[in-house]
Amino acid sequence: MASFDYDLFVIGGGSGGVRSGRLAAAMGKRVAIAEEFRYGGTCVIRGCVPKKLYVYASQFAEHFEDAEGYGWTVGESTFDWKKLVAAKDKEITRLEGLYQKGLANAGAEILHTRAELTGPNTIKLLDSGRTVTAERIVIAVGGHPSSHDALPGHELCISSNEAFDLPELPKSIVIAGGGYIAVEFANIFHGLGVETTLIYRGKEILSRFDQDMRRGLHAAMEQKGIRILCEDLIQSVTRNAEGRLVAETMKNGALTADQVMLALGRVPNTKGLGLEAAGVAVNERGAILIDAFSRTSAPGVYALGDVTDRVQLTPVAIHEAMCFIETEYKGNPTSPDHDLIATAVFSQPEIGTVGLSEDEAAKKFEDLEVYRAEFRPMKATLSGRSEKTIMKLVVNAADRKVLGAHILGHEAGEMAQLLGITLKAGCTKDDFDRTMAVHPTASEELVTMYNPSYRIKNGERIG
Ligand X SMILES: Cc1cc2nc3c(=O)[nH]c(=O)nc-3n(C[C@H](O)[C@H](O)[C@H](O)COP(=O)(O)OP(=O)(O)OC[C@H]3O[C@@H](n4cnc5c(N)ncnc54)[C@H](O)[C@@H]3O)c2cc1C
Measured from the CB atom, the residue of 10 and 246 that comes closer to ligand X is 10
Nearest distance in Å: CB 449, ligand X: 28
Tell me the C-alpha distance between 206 and 181, whole Å. Answer: 10
Nearest distance in Å: CB 450, ligand X: 34
Computed on alpha carbons and rounded to an integer, the radius of gyration of the chain in Å comes to 24
Measured from the CB atom, the residue of 13 and 409 that comes closer to ligand X is 13
Tell me the C-alpha distance between 323 and 335, whole Å. Answer: 6
- Regarding 412 and contact with ligand X (CB under 6 A), the answer is no
Q: How many residues does this entry show for the chain?
A: 463
Q: Do residues 368 and 404 touch, judged by C-beta distance below 8 A?
A: no
- Regarding 12 and contact with ligand X (CB under 6 A), the answer is yes
User: Residue 259 forms beta bridges with which residues?
Assistant: 173
Half-sphere exposure of 114 (CA within 13 A, CB side): 9
- Residues with active-site annotation: 439
CA angle 94/89/196 to nearest 5° reads 140
Q: How many helices (H) and strands (E) are present in the chain, helices listed first?
A: 13, 23
- Regarding 306 and contact with ligand X (CB under 6 A), the answer is yes
From the list 148-156, 192-200, 314-322, 414-422, the region that binds ligand X by CB under 6 A is 314-322
Measured from the CB atom, the residue of 24 and 181 that comes closer to ligand X is 181
From the list 102-110, 306-314, 417-425, 441-449, the region that binds ligand X by CB under 6 A is 306-314
Measured from the CB atom, the residue of 10 and 361 that comes closer to ligand X is 10
- Regarding 317 and contact with ligand X (CB under 6 A), the answer is yes
- Regarding 125 and contact with ligand X (CB under 6 A), the answer is no
Nearest distance in Å: CB 298, ligand X: 16
Nearest distance in Å: CB 15, ligand X: 4
- Regarding 11 and contact with ligand X (CB under 6 A), the answer is yes
- Regarding 269 and contact with ligand X (CB under 6 A), the answer is yes
Residue 154's nearest CA partner among 234, 230, 233 is 234
- The residue ranges of DSSP E strands in 77-170, in sequence order, are 109-111, 115-119, 122-125, 131-139, 143-145
Among 58, 197, 312, 383, binds ligand X (CB under 6 A): 312
- Regarding 186 and contact with ligand X (CB under 6 A), the answer is no
Site map 21..60 versus ligand X, x via CB under 6 A = -------------xxxx---xxx---xx--x---------
Residue 463's nearest CA partner among 367, 393, 361 is 367
Residue 84: C-alpha distances to residues 97, 189, 267, 347, 423 (Å): 20, 13, 29, 19, 38
Tell me the C-alpha distance between 150 and 36, whole Å. Answer: 27
CA angle 39/286/271 to nearest 5° reads 60
Q: Do residues 277 and 261 touch, judged by C-beta distance below 8 A?
A: no
- Regarding 13 and contact with ligand X (CB under 6 A), the answer is yes
From the list 10-18, 60-68, 279-287, 399-407, the region that binds ligand X by CB under 6 A is 10-18
Measured from the CB atom, the residue of 43 and 205 that comes closer to ligand X is 43
Nearest distance in Å: CB 61, ligand X: 22
Residue 190's nearest CA partner among 164, 221, 215 is 221
Among 92, 132, 138, 181, binds ligand X (CB under 6 A): 181
- Regarding 214 and contact with ligand X (CB under 6 A), the answer is no
Nearest distance in Å: CB 47, ligand X: 3
According to DSSP, residue 288 is labeled B
- Regarding 95 and contact with ligand X (CB under 6 A), the answer is no
Residues that bind ligand X (CB under 6 A): 11-17, 34-37, 41-43, 47-48, 51, 114-116, 140-142, 160, 181, 269, 273, 305-307, 312-315, 317
